Chain A
């Protein structure tokens, strides 16, 4: 008997994932621009879902205000790339850093609220940012602003660059969350989520761990915002700070499976397909999404991945499994 992190399942899936990422990286040479633009959106769903899962599934913090950091990321790209002249490849991570900085300051306010009131508090912060950006004339005020950062590249090359940026950002972020959850800090976080009082009595720095997660999730959402802006080339306060982003994150995490790294990836793919097939039903499509969230939360709280996962069946093994050697 020995304790092992990897299992046969995880070793096989690691190879499969590696091949998948390689295939996706080759895609710009093989698929149309329209497909690439669609896939960027899928990568953003994976990224946003992963960040919301980090917050709620691992940090125990339900935020209804993550659109704040999508918006900061979108406007951050415009400011850093267009107005300060930084290359777009660097501007995307820097926009994430900007969102993280805002989140760090915000955390000192919203962390004074517990549980459900924390959720609405984060929403107020997002609304404040939306209303403020509606007033900033230098960024187009309510009408919004166009993204010119990729102007020197031809359209085909621009779309490929954004695609690779989105793929790299998403893969690195998911891997980053995996490393974080394997670490001592990750273990502490899980303990904090399950029982903050007990965790604190065992010497886990509760406030610090939560703040780290909150800032990290904002960095990820900020990069997602920058990528969405790179994809649509337009930033407007009403849509950049829309609560719909948080609704998407919640949906992705709930159907995929909360508290597992695999969950939001699965959920993002499902959401992406559902949106393609059903979004022309308009409001009825949203009714369906709402019903699915309620039903999954009550009936299948571990999501679809929860049906598949087991101690030996994890793509991203964060814990140790006892193996018969």
Chain B
């Protein structure tokens, strides 16, 4: 059954969207800053992984060991160097700065890798599958992607609510001045949050590259999907993010099953319907961010 298959695949795709959305949501939650370069960063991670695959012959999964720490470090530096200055100057500045960053990153990728679509070769992983019922089988790679998304959301939830560092992050987000009074280093907290967010983005980017094709201009689409996931799920709710990702993934793949050209549009329409009918999202925030 084609539609059942689309739903199953859509649910699994939702894990990837949740992973993307978690990074966007974390930066917004902690710093009230919407990172318009989010998608461009994810695509950059995919190209970073591609470079390692081509030059060292690594499997894309192995490249995570390099790409993720590099992105986390870059996130720390980005926050210290640019975003701190941007975030203190009212709501316009971070948007202009991150949009400018997105243009820079996309254009640099264009000069370095050309506009051609690429994909990360996954070898055996791309064909391996698990048969669920007679007609529905699930690829190991989509399953792995979904698992990584769920683990990332669970891990972030655990970090924010069960560890001292997470508590500090929530406190700083709630009231920066008060957190400073009790001795929190707010700049360090913000830089840590950005580092985690960029690490998540890097993981998401590599999985995007393994699942399908990517090009320098793919960042815009990635940003929009991450954003739609956040809004459908409900701002600041990590569980909502997972549900939002699943709903968006199912909508896109069901749409594509009906008309191959309508997949992305179907996702956008579901987002607009949620915005019209339930603007607070499926799981309105009770928590962080």
The chain A residues found within 8 Å of chain B, CB to CB, are: 56, 60, 62, 64, 109, 112-113, 115-117, 119-121, 123-125, 127-128, 131-132, 134-135, 243, 247, 250, 254, 258, 282-284, 286-287, 289-294, 297-298, 301
A282 to B100, CA, bound (A): 16
Complex interface: chain B residues within 8 A of A117 (CB): 28, 34, 227, 230-231, 235
Indicate whether A116 sits within 8 Å of B28 (C-beta atoms), given known contacts A287-B108, A301-B93: yes
Complex interface: chain B residues within 8 A of A292 (CB): 100
A125 to B269, CA, bound (A): 9
Closest beta carbon of chain A to B104's beta carbon, Å: 4
Contact of B99 with A by CB under 8 A: yes
B104 to A250, Cβ gap below 8 A? no
- 7 pairs, A vs B, C-beta closer than 8 Å: A109-B275, A116-B34, A116-B95, A119-B36, A123-B224, A131-B265, A291-B104
Q: Secondary structure at chain A's binding surface: helix, strand, loop or mixed?
A: helix
A88 to B269, CA, bound (A): 34
Complex interface: chain A residues within 8 A of B268 (CB): 124, 127-128, 131
B107 to A290, Cβ gap below 8 A? yes
Total interface residues on B, CB under 8 Å, equals 45
B34 to A120, Cβ gap below 8 A? yes
A298 to B111, Cβ gap below 8 A? no
A292 to B34, CA, bound (A): 20
Give the residue of B32, B85, B91, B95 whose beta carbon is less than 8 angstroms from that of A298. Answer: B85
B231 to A113, Cβ gap below 8 A? yes
Complex interface: chain A residues within 8 A of B85 (CB): 298
B86 to A116, Cβ gap below 8 A? no
A128 to B269, Cβ gap below 8 A? yes
Give the residue of B107, B230, B275 whose beta carbon is less than 8 angstroms from that of A284. Answer: B107
State which residues 54-92 of B face A: CB under 8 Å: 82, 85-86, 89, 91-92
A116 to B36, Cβ gap below 8 A? yes
Give the residue of A56, A116, A124, A283 whose beta carbon is less than 8 angstroms from that of B228. Answer: A124
Contact of B223 with A by CB under 8 A: yes
Indicate whether A290 sits within 8 Å of B111 (C-beta atoms), given known contacts A124-B227, A128-B268: no
A286 to B100, CA, bound (A): 10
Complex interface: chain B residues within 8 A of A60 (CB): 91-92
Contact of B272 with A by CB under 8 A: yes
A275 to B214, CA, bound (A): 28
The chain B residues found within 8 Å of chain A, CB to CB, are: 28, 32-34, 36, 82, 85-86, 89, 91-97, 99-104, 106-108, 110-111, 220, 223-224, 227-228, 230-231, 235, 261, 264-265, 268-269, 271-272, 275-276, 279
Give the residue of A62, A120, A121, A287 whose beta carbon is less than 8 angstroms from that of B92. Answer: A62
A250 to B99, Cβ gap below 8 A? yes
Complex interface: chain B residues within 8 A of A113 (CB): 231, 275, 279
Give the residue of B96, B264, B271 whose beta carbon is less than 8 angstroms from that of A293. Answer: B96
B103 to A247, Cβ gap below 8 A? yes
A64 to B224, Cβ gap below 8 A? no
Complex interface: chain B residues within 8 A of A134 (CB): 261
B279 to A112, Cβ gap below 8 A? yes
17 additional contacts, CB 8 Å, given A286-B106, A290-B103?
A56-B92, A62-B91, A115-B91, A116-B28, A116-B95, A117-B227, A119-B95, A120-B227, A127-B268, A247-B103, A254-B96, A283-B107, A284-B107, A284-B111, A289-B103, A291-B100, A298-B97
Complex interface: chain A residues within 8 A of B228 (CB): 124
Complex interface: chain A residues within 8 A of B92 (CB): 56, 60, 62, 258
Indicate whether A116 sits within 8 Å of B33 (C-beta atoms), given known contacts A258-B92, A298-B85: yes
Question: Which of A116, A123, A247, A283 has the most chain B CB atoms inside 10 A of its CB?
Answer: A116
Complex interface: chain B residues within 8 A of A284 (CB): 107, 111
Q: Top 6 closest A-B pairs, CB basis?
A: A116-B34, A290-B104, A293-B100, A290-B103, A286-B107, A294-B100
Closest beta carbon of chain B to A259's beta carbon, Å: 9
Closest beta carbon of chain B to A63's beta carbon, Å: 10
Closest beta carbon of chain B to A54's beta carbon, Å: 14
Closest beta carbon of chain B to A317's beta carbon, Å: 24
Complex interface: chain B residues within 8 A of A282 (CB): 110-111
A287 to B111, Cβ gap below 8 A? yes
Complex interface: chain A residues within 8 A of B93 (CB): 297-298, 301
A131 to B272, CA, bound (A): 14
Which partner residue on chain B sits nearest A63 by CB separation? B95
Closest beta carbon of chain B to A163's beta carbon, Å: 31
A250 to B279, CA, bound (A): 28
Complex interface: chain B residues within 8 A of A243 (CB): 220
Closest beta carbon of chain B to A277's beta carbon, Å: 17
B275 to A120, Cβ gap below 8 A? no
Question: Which of A117, A294, A297, A298 has the most chain B CB atoms inside 10 A of its CB?
Answer: A297
A294 to B82, Cβ gap below 8 A? yes
A102 to B86, CA, bound (A): 33
A254 to B103, CA, bound (A): 15
A117 to B280, CA, bound (A): 13
Closest beta carbon of chain A to B225's beta carbon, Å: 10
A62 to B106, CA, bound (A): 21
